[in-house]
Amino acid sequence: MNPILTVAAKEFRDDFRNRWTVALTILFALLALGIAWFGSAAAGRVGFTSFDTTLASLTTLGAFVIPLIGLLIAYDSIVGERDDGTLLLMLSYPLSRGQLVAGKFLGHCGALAAATLAGFGFAVAIMQWMQPPEQTMQAWLQIARFILSASLLGASFVGLACLISVQTADKSRAAGLALVGWLVSVVLFDLALLALLVVSGGNPLERAVYPYLLLLNPVDVFRLVNLTALGDGAGNDLLTGMTAHHVYPTALLYALLLGWAVAPFAWAMLAFRRKEI
């Protein structure tokens, strides 16, 4: 078997032997169902109401949770092997450094995609079943878009975690950098954009530049893929309001998500090939 696929299969199995991965898959499903059922509780209604509104809430949830899981399952991919003393042993096999990194990247991406599909997909499928029959095809397209974009978002942060793992000397530092990466991407980046809007007063130049600044963050690209397709009235009011008059080609958004996954992974491969062990 191809060495890359062998390593990927091992990492995939190891991820699902980890109770945290299984627990998080179940948590995905429970949170998704909870949002679907209690999302309108503030308005005095309990139960499934709107598929679009629920999917917008799931997008917000996924934007916080999926990057964190991607970083946590992969931050010790290389540095963990080094700390455990197994890295040199693995490289003594007919396995190149690039193949090792590629296998770990693909294995972790596959595990995260499977967890996303099993967790969010189960809940969303139940919501789709509750749709009126005439909306079934549209709902399935929205489900497919959400799962695909969520998997690419996870791959982006698995790639970042692999890069951190290659560049750091111990697991504790890698874990710290992974959490900092999550905080910057998920929280601080949008806060910085919001602060820029407040300082500038939302002038025409800022409004013209803002839609393109969102493309610098894979989390916001993930939101754009899902929220812009749902139309007005769903999701982040600031995001949809500031991008209402800007059309993002769907192919461009998916290409950007793919690029955010490939770029850190390629950097990690290049850095590991040049690194002294």
pLDDT digits (tens, 9 = 90+) for 120-162: 777 766 666 665 554 566 767 887 888 899 999 999 999 999 9
Ranked by mean pLDDT, the top range of 61-70, 100-109, 117-126 is: 100-109
Q: Which of 33-42, 81-90, 175-184, 206-215 has the highest mean pLDDT?
A: 175-184
Domain count across the chain: 1
- Of 38-42, 146-150, 207-211, 260-264, which range is least confident? 38-42
Q: What is the mean pLDDT of the chain?
A: 83
| Lowest-confidence pick of 147-156, 158-167, 240-249 | 240-249
**Over the chain, what HEC string results?**
CCHHHHHHHHHHHHHHHCHHHHHHHHHHHHHHHHHHHHCCHHHCCCCCCCHHHHHHHHHHHHHHHHHHHHHHHHCCCCHHHHHHCCHHHHHCCCCCHHHHHHHHHHHHHHHHHHHHHHHHHHHHHHHHHCCCHHHHHHHHHHHHHHHHHHHHHHHHHHHHHHHHHHHCCCHHHHHHHHHHHHHHHHHHHHHHHHHHHHHHCCCHHHHHHHHHHHHHCHHHHHHHHHHHHHCCCCCCHHHHHHCCCCCCCHHHHHHHHHHHHHHHHHHHHHHHHHCCC
What's residue 144's pLDDT?
84
pTM: 0.87
Residue range(s) defining the domain that contains residue 117? 3-274
Where does the pLDDT of residue 247 fall: very low under 50, low under 70, confident under 90, or very high at 90 and above?
confident
